[in-house]
Amino acid sequence: MSRLEEPWPGRPHPLGATWDGEGTNFALWASGADAVELCLFDGAGAETRVPLGEQTYHVWHGYLPRIGPGQRYGYRVHGPYRPADGQRYNPHKLLLDPYARALDGEFRPEPPVFGHDGDPRGDAPDRRDSAPYVPRSVVVHDSFPWGGDRRPGTPWEDTVIYELHVRGFTKLHPGVPEPLRGTYAGLAHPAAIDHLTDLGVTAVELLPVQQFVTEPAVARRGLTNYWGYNTIGFFAPHAAYAATPGEQVREFKAMVRALHGAGIEVILDVVYNHTAEGAEDGPTLAFRGIDNAGYYRLLADDPRRYADYTGCGNTLDMRHPYVLQMLMDSLRYWVTEMHVDGFRFDLASALARSLHDVDKLSAFFDVIHQDPVVSQVKLIAEPWDVGEGGYQVGEFPPLWTEWNGKYRDTVRSFWAGERIGVRDLGFRLTGSSDLYADDGRQPFASINFVSCHDGFPLRDLTTYERKHNEANGEGNRDGESHNRSWNCGVEGETDDPAVTALRGRQVRNMLATLLLSTGVPMLLAGDELSRTQGGNNNAFCQDNEMSWVDWSTRDDPAVADLLALTRRLVALRRATPVLRQRGFFAGRPVPGAEGRKDLAWLRADGTEMTEREWHAPDLRTLGMYLDGDGIRQRGPRGERLSGESYLLVLHAGAEDTTFALPGLPWADGYRIVLDTTAPDGLPPAGTDRPAAGMDLPVTARSAVLLRAVRTEVPDTRPLPPSRPSLGGVPTP
């Protein structure tokens, strides 16, 4: 270890390491520090320490000529080690730059990486050097040739999201060359993109790609953090996803450019609610050693401990101006420099807590809403955290969309045969107006999903009623115990053809429900290929075939049918304006439509439901009529929008039934376009044109979509303005 002469003063802004062509400016915010040393590492790993003697408003800074891109560095921050006061400075710990654009090297949870000397709440710091066991920050300057890169700019109402894992999506893909599998370059490969475009999805939502590390407790079990919800670098693409070591920034940008070229937006799942340092017994990697009391929410009555609204040991303090600035700087960086199109905020309720409660007027919302860059991209909240009052579905303000957990729960419960009736299902099918209409938001505020990375994939929802997480090494105690799943009578895989057929139908039922609902559908990668996790509903630590997409299933005729059905449903949605409305249904007659409503709820005898039936818990059959002439929004030039009208019949009963197809004014006749009884969803020849007034046979636990046929000329007169009701359903 050596020392350089005192650096030039440099500048306090921007934070991080900034190369200007001649040298690099380093700036680090550490409000309670007594001194800061910049640590430079050469190719052999030798360390040179450079004291940063300049401090401006708690930002320590200095400029080093001839230091440029590729330089590995870190920090050692001096100050008091007094956990009782929330201070955990320890210069024996090499710290990452929170603003580093790239990281190099592996984290190894050896004893020296922990800042305490055995007792995380005691006053004795650990004096061993952590440098051999932690990554280095890297000076980055990347002049990437974006060329004519254009953001697709897909409107929310036309968006179909596909949630995928960068590594797991291509790790087993036979069309992607072996060296590229599981990487940014693999996702950019034509074989991967072709699957996405063939499906018709308009956006990929990537599980965390900001640099993360594995928790020590998970590493001790011989496992790794696969999902990535353990961030340590909010500006750095995860290095392990680069096909060429050290090229993660360039490869990430090339991936975005390739996806944009295919018309696909890139949404990042971001984790700003906590960091990988965990609770007080966790490692000291960056924030804890730079300014523990500034970055984290500490318990007021015991600053040795962290307020934990995330279930991960700590919570970043978004009430602090510099922490909030870091979040906004990070978001702007990913939009402006990395060209991403939006963000899904993990445990977003934790970001909006003021003192204890989730606050719609918090600084977190204020700065995002007024920011000219971040406010213009897609913003998705996971509207809950693990703290008291953290479940906030429907409570985020305008500008935000939300993962609609109530949609997931209702659809799963309905098809699992639970006694929930159809009232909640009606709201979910039509954009959840009960959650979003009262504050001026529109149906696309609801991100509809039935499965996601967290929990069972669709196939497992029909195969397992109990979680089987033994491989996670926690005695099957981890993961959700109430999955709202139904195994169709047998737990686990079976060769029984009747059970297998029913399971296939249930998957098609949920898939059809999702893609025919108003709102923004989100598909889980691999559901269209019948992917299974073997009953594991918490596969966060399974970086193996359990989690990776299995492309070999495409050779199975049943999977080929499922894949074709998924494509057809997405295409039908894209071609059908009434399924993609920007406004909520009114449930009132359409002008000039001879009594038809834009939305009507029908019972099995073909007549409209009564208030009493709407609340009946044992009702298993629901008909939803959507009128294509009743679209109240206008086109970009004020033109009236119209299209086909549809009748969707959902039957979750255990016995076959019939549904009386209503006649005029609803329709003269019908064309069946989807029947989930068939493996490919297509009705048998000769049965696809039932007449109005006839009793349509409906198989137990199945869904049928019919296109209404009418001979009258549609009314083209302008529609009067109307105030949406609660989605056209009877008012609760």
Q: What is the DSSP string of 602-616?
A: E-TTSSBPPHHHHT-
Strand order in the sheet with 599-602: 599-602, 621-626, 646-651, 702-709, 669-675
**Pair of tokens at residue 616:** 């009946």
SS3 string, 92-154, reads CCCECCCCCCEEECCCCCCHHHCCECCCCCCCCECCCCCHHHCCEEECCCCCCCCCCCCCCCC
- Cα-flanking dihedrals φ and ψ of residue 74, to 5°? -160, -170
C-beta separation of 320 from 367 below 8 A = no
The rounded distance, in Å, linking the Cα atoms of 500 and 154 is 38
Contacts of 575 (CB under 8 A, 6+ apart): none
Q: Which residues contact 123 (CB under 8 A, 6 or more apart)?
A: 81, 82, 83, 84
Cα–Cα distance for residue pair 459/534, rounded to 1 Å: 9
> How many other C-beta atoms are found inside a 10 Å radius of the C-beta of residue 179?
11
Residue 205 in contact with residue 162, Cβ under 8 Å? yes
Is 715's pLDDT higher than 50? no
- Cβ-count burial of 372 within 10 angstroms (0-12 exposed, 13-18 middle, 19+ buried)? exposed
Which range has the worst mean pLDDT, 476-490, 515-529, 614-628, 635-649? 635-649
Band of the pLDDT at 592, cuts 50, 70, 90? low
Q: What is the pLDDT of residues 56-89, one digit of tens each?
A: 999 999 999 999 999 999 999 999 999 999 999 9
Angle at 403 between CA 399 and CA 408, to 5 degrees: 145
pLDDT of res. 713: 47
Tokens, residue 600: 């009507």
Quote the crossing angle between the two packed helices 287-295 and 321-336, to the nearest 10°: 120
| Beta strand 298-299 pairing with 87-88 | unpaired
Residue 248 scores a pLDDT above 60? yes
Window from 32-41, 649-658, 687-696, 719-728 with minimum mean pLDDT:
719-728
pLDDT above 50: residue 726? no
- Cis? peptide before 14, omega within 30° of 0: yes
Q: State the catalytic residues.
A: 346, 382
Angle formed at CA 234 by CA 102 and CA 93, multiple of 5 degrees: 70
pLDDT classification of 506: cutoffs 50, 70, 90: very high
Per-residue pLDDT tens digits for 406-422: 999 999 999 999 999 99
Tokens of 220: 């001790």
With a cut of 80, say whether residue 563 has pLDDT above it: yes
Contact 458, 566 (CB under 8 A): no
8 A C-beta contact, residue 305 and residue 121: yes
Neighbours of 5 (CB within 10 A): 7
Per-residue pLDDT, averaged over 219-229, amounts to: 97
What pLDDT digit, counting tens, does each position of 644-669 carry? 999 999 999 999 999 999 999 999 99
Q: How far apart are CA 713 and CA 723, in angstroms?
A: 26
Q: Cβ–Cβ contacts within 10 Å for residue 405, how many?
A: 18
Check if the beta carbon of residue 663 is closer than 8 Å to that of residue 690: no
* Model pLDDT, residue 5: 65
Q: What does the angle CA 672 – CA 678 – CA 683 come to, to the nearest 5 degrees?
A: 25
Residues in Cβ contact with 326 at an 8 Å cutoff, skipping those fewer than 6 apart: 15, 98, 99, 234
Which of 413, 437, 440, 436 lies closest to 424 in space, CA to CA? 413
Q: Which residues, at least 6 apart from 339, have a Cβ–Cβ distance to it below 8 Å?
A: 146, 149, 151, 253, 256, 257, 260, 266
pLDDT of residue 680: 94
Question: Does 721 score more than 50 pLDDT?
Answer: no
Domains along the sequence of the chain with CATH: 585-709 (2.60.40.1180)
Low-confidence winner among 131-140, 342-351, 534-543 (lowest mean pLDDT): 342-351
* Residue 354: band (very low, low, confident or very high) from pLDDT cuts 50, 70, 90: low
- The Cβ-side half-sphere exposure at 176, using a 13 Å CA radius, reads 27
Kindly tell me if the per-residue pLDDT of 4 is higher than 80. Answer: no
Given this model, what pLDDT does residue 356 score?
Answer: 63
Mean model confidence pLDDT for the chain: 93
Q: Is pTM, for the whole model, over 0.85? A: yes
Q: What is the pLDDT of residue 142?
A: 83
pLDDT recorded at residue 1: 53
Residue in 526, 718, 553, 507 with CA at minimum distance from that of residue 631: 718
